[in-house]
A and B are shown apart, each in its own frame.
Chain A
Amino acid sequence: MGTAVADGSPAPRTWHLFCRVVDNYGDIGVCWRLARQLHRQHGREVTLWLDELASLQALQPAVDTTRARQECEGVHIRHWAAALPPLDPTDIGEVVIEAFACELPAAYLALMQATRPLWINLEYLSAEEWVVRCHRAPSPRLGLRKFFFFPGFSEGTGGLLWEPEPLHPRQAEPPPATLLHRLLQELEVTGPLPATRLAISLFAYENRAAGELLGALSEAPGGVHLLVPQGRISPAIDAWLGEPLPPGGSCCRGGLTVTALPFMTQRQYDRLLAACDLNFVRGEDSFVRGQMVARPLLWQIYPQQEAAHLVKLEAFLARYTAAMPPPLAAIIVEAHRCWNGAAACRKDDWLGLLSQLPTWQAEARRWQGQLQRLGDLASNLVAFAGNQV
């Protein structure tokens, strides 16, 4: 095993992270953040094995999709092709992370049996009770040391993926309106910004409740600026507006101004979250970021068969709202059920939700602090690996 590394934490030093892109940008979003953080914050030598380089390029334009091996932001990137080039034991990391239960390539696995690395299956995020019982559990396979590692919201889990460094200086950042103005300039979004009371970001899968939401926002007192990152919700927005809204374009209906945003890097998206009064987030990566910027959020969970996602949604809501004033908690729970197809949506409910934003903002800050006390996922992984050596 390797020696102590830059941050003084114990070895191992070389980390290999395997990521298979299933759909969207959630898997690669999480893996890319983790790879960068293991390198930047902990000084690990990180190799990201990825089957679809184009997905990473969307998040980090410096990535070259034609190169099977390259380095970006200090992270080694290797294309996980169907047929890997010949490998030797030096190609195997001291820690091998199998993200989201992707199956490791057979050739790599065969060499692992010779080098015997620490093998970690990094699982999906869930707020359910059973996660604590499974976190860091051994999983004896092929005579190797394999463990499950779960991100989570409570003691006894791996915490969430966030960078301790950038979060603290945020106190000194400009006010949200200035942040938003700068971001839109950078994204080359032209036209005058609406003088609305609220800025809301909407990052979502297809959602049958979108029309009802937009109708309500158009009647919100003081007006709303809705910022929609390009994605799967965009056709529903166009349908409600009655015209296609190209990236960078804006359109008004009543008191609602909708701006379609071009595809953003992760850092740009993080700034958008910090600049908005309410963020609609989805899946796992944006969901975590939305919590760690301490802003009110509405989560659209990735839909699963047999409505398994609704159980996970309720588990999160129980934790998220546990310490909130009951009236606010009830409104937040109901809004999440509406947005996830588990309850009927009404315009008044959405307007009622907006009226709660000041109280909700304070609760979002408290929730962020609670999550920070769990430590961050990368640091918790490094500590776990160090203890296994």
Chain B
Amino acid sequence: MKTAQEFRAGQVVSLDGQAWVILKAEFSKSGRSSAIVRMKLKNLISGSSQEPVFKADDKLEPIVLERKVVTYSYFADPLYVFMDEEYNQIDIEKENLGDTLNFITDGMTEQCEAVFYEGKAISVELPTTIVRTVAYTENAARGDTSGKVMKTAQLENGHELQVAAFIETGDLIEIDTRTGECKGRAKK
């Protein structure tokens, strides 16, 4: 069993005896030290979807499926094409990638893990931490140096996220793919 906050997009969870792939896992701090995780799930058999919410420390059962290390190659609408270590092409439908899409960019070199269910690639998991370039963000207002004031930044693939005010256009930032949050400026 794993806690809800340990799951991320691309993984598969068992609910009421059925297998659901996680398309999106949104972590939010509620009150005091508690937090919740909202998931967007797709049923691997019926294709139906649901969007449940869990306490961050609720225990859920992961389903361990076949995995292969892959790297991203290109997008051929509606398929994202990855390559395994033996240069086999692995196609994954765009609609199955959920929030993982936010961090897939042309030329990315991170090793990911494709997840297979009954022989078919159903999702891909990114590393927990990835580094991306900020394509654009407004200059910070003067005096905002505490790291607590946030602003919007756009990545090269167009995805927007919140970053600390001191982050600038062109900076490399570390992103936690479980939460989608910027962890800070990456070391060059």
Contact = CB atoms under 8 A, between A and B. Distances in A.
A134 B58 CA distance: 16
B147 to A, nearest CB: 9
Interface residues of B, number: 21
A304 B58 CA distance: 21
A83 interface: no
A121 interface: yes
Contact of A141 (B26, B32, B58, B150): B58
Contacts of B51: 133, 137
A72 interface: no
Interface in B156-182: none
Contact of B53 (A124, A134, A304): A134
B55 A101 contact: yes
Contacts of B30: 101, 123-124, 126
Q: Which of A101, A138, A284 gathers the greatest number of chain B CB atoms within 10 Å?
A: A101
Nearest to A125: B31
Interface stretch (A183-191, A250-258, A305-313): A305-313
A303 to B, nearest CB: 10
Contacts of B185: none
Given A130-B38, A307-B148, A100 B53 contact: no
B148 to A, nearest CB: 5
B88 interface: no
B85 interface: no
Interface string A269-305: 0000000000000001000000000000000001011
A121 B55 contact: yes
A205 interface: no
B49 interface: no
B115 to A, nearest CB: 22
Interface string B40-64: 0000000000111111001000000
A193 interface: no
Nearest to A135: B53
Given A133-B38, A141-B58, A304 B52 contact: no
A167 interface: no
A311 B36 CA distance: 16
Interface in B1-31: 15-16, 26, 28-31
A100 B58 CA distance: 14
Given A133-B38, A143-B16, A307-B148, A138 B52 contact: yes
A302 B38 CA distance: 23
A341 B32 CA distance: 17
B28 A134 contact: yes
A124 B55 CA distance: 12
A204 to B, nearest CB: 17
Contacts of A134: 28, 36, 38, 53
Interface in A104-152: 121, 123-126, 128, 130, 133-134, 137-141, 143, 148
Contact of A139 (B32, B33, B34, B54): B54
A124 B32 CA distance: 9
B6 to A, nearest CB: 17
A302 B148 contact: no
B165 to A, nearest CB: 13
Nearest to A303: B32
Given A121-B55, A138-B52, A139-B52, A130 B34 contact: no
B99 to A, nearest CB: 14
A1 interface: no
B52 A22 contact: no
B31 A124 contact: yes
A29 to B, nearest CB: 14
B148 A22 contact: no
A5 interface: no
A244 B138 CA distance: 51
A310 B148 contact: yes
A84 interface: no
Given A143-B16, A307-B148, A137 B31 contact: no
Q: Can you list the 4 inter-chain pairs with the closest CB atoms, starting with the nearest?
A: A124-B31, A137-B53, A308-B29, A148-B53
22 contacts: A100-B31, A100-B32, A100-B34, A123-B30, A123-B31, A124-B32, A124-B34, A133-B26, A133-B51, A134-B38, A137-B52, A138-B53, A139-B54, A140-B15, A140-B16, A140-B52, A284-B31, A305-B33, A308-B29, A310-B148, A311-B150, A342-B148
Interface of B: 15-16, 26, 28-34, 36, 38, 50-55, 58, 148, 150
Given A140-B16, A284-B31, A304-B31, 14 more contacts: A100-B32, A123-B30, A123-B36, A124-B34, A125-B31, A126-B31, A130-B28, A130-B38, A134-B36, A134-B53, A138-B53, A141-B54, A148-B36, A302-B32
